[in-house]
Amino acid sequence: MDITLERNTMKYSLDRPQYQVYSTEAMLGELRRVAAHYENRRFSRREYDAVAAACKGSAILARFGSWQGALDAAGLQLEKAGKNRWLIADQQLFEEMERVWSEVGHRPSHDEWVSHNPRYSYTTYKARFKGWVNACAAFIAYVSGEEPNNAQAAATSKPEQKSAKAQSPANLEKRNVSDKLRYRVLARDHFQCVLCGRSPASEPGVKLHIDHIVPFSKGGKTELENLRSACNTCNWGKGSEVEIAL
């Protein structure tokens, strides 16, 4: 239908110009490039759009009729995401999280993660560490240079059923700090030592520990109010002494 209205020198029409038409070969080439980005694992249209440099997934669907049809036309034989997700080393996951975290400037949300073209999906971290917050806590332990005992436990243990569980009377009697509680302490203290202000973000080599203000050996509880972030130097210097407020 061609409906045109000419007024003064401007022509008004329902027709729209097509600014760029991608060839079939260009679309297939872009699919192959994205497949290489995801190391030949199966990727969704949404994951494709997150890293596509040329045409969007909607244009590919319009051309080939289905996502699988486009992948077949490109000659791609992709591994299922669930099959090789566990072949990714923790260090690879942490290195990618460090890149995105640094670009965002704080712990990334789901939308912030997706918008920064991550190499690994949000769900990969959730599956590995039984939750996004657990993944972030494990990453903090990694960059702080701590032993990954809690991080490994988070990857193999069942997720907590209730948030109150971490603060139950039985858990208050335990010395070890859960990943979830550890993250809450670090976030409250802005990921820096509350005694000297040093941070792994500004000083490579600084390691943050979770310190009992009233030492556990002196009856201190493992709860948020009795925990703080302390660098290795301040924490070791304090030892098991009880501080007295003046």
Mean pLDDT of the chain: 77
Dihedral angle, C-alpha 193, 196, 202, 207, nearest 10 °: -50
Taking 50 as the threshold, does the pLDDT of residue 155 lie above it?
A: no
Q: What is the CA radius of gyration of the chain?
A: 26
Look up the domain containing 69 and give its range: 17-82
- The angle at the Cα of 97, spanning 186 to 206, to the nearest 5 degrees, equals 45
Share of the chain above pLDDT 90, in %: 12
pTM attached to this predicted model? 0.41
Q: How confident is the model at residue 82 (pLDDT cuts 50, 70, 90)?
A: low
Taking 60 as the threshold, does the pLDDT of residue 163 lie above it?
A: no
The domain boundary residue, chosen from 55, 82, 109: 82
58 and 25 in one domain?
yes
Out of 196-200, 205-209, 236-240, which region has the weakest mean confidence (pLDDT)?
Answer: 236-240
Residue 6: inside a domain, yes or no? Answer: no
What pLDDT does 157 receive?
40
What pLDDT does 161 receive?
42
What pLDDT does 73 receive?
93
The tens digit of pLDDT for each residue in 120-139 reads: 888 889 888 888 988 888 88
Tally of CB atoms within 10 A around 89: 8
Residue 3: inside a domain, yes or no? Answer: no
Q: How confident is the model at residue 194 (pLDDT cuts 50, 70, 90)?
A: very high
92 and 69 in one domain?
no
What pLDDT does 170 receive?
52
Residue 146: inside a domain, yes or no? Answer: yes
Residue 233: inside a domain, yes or no? Answer: yes
Phi-psi region of 89 (alpha: psi -120 to 50; beta: other; left: phi over 0): beta
CA atoms within 13 A on the CB side of 129: 28
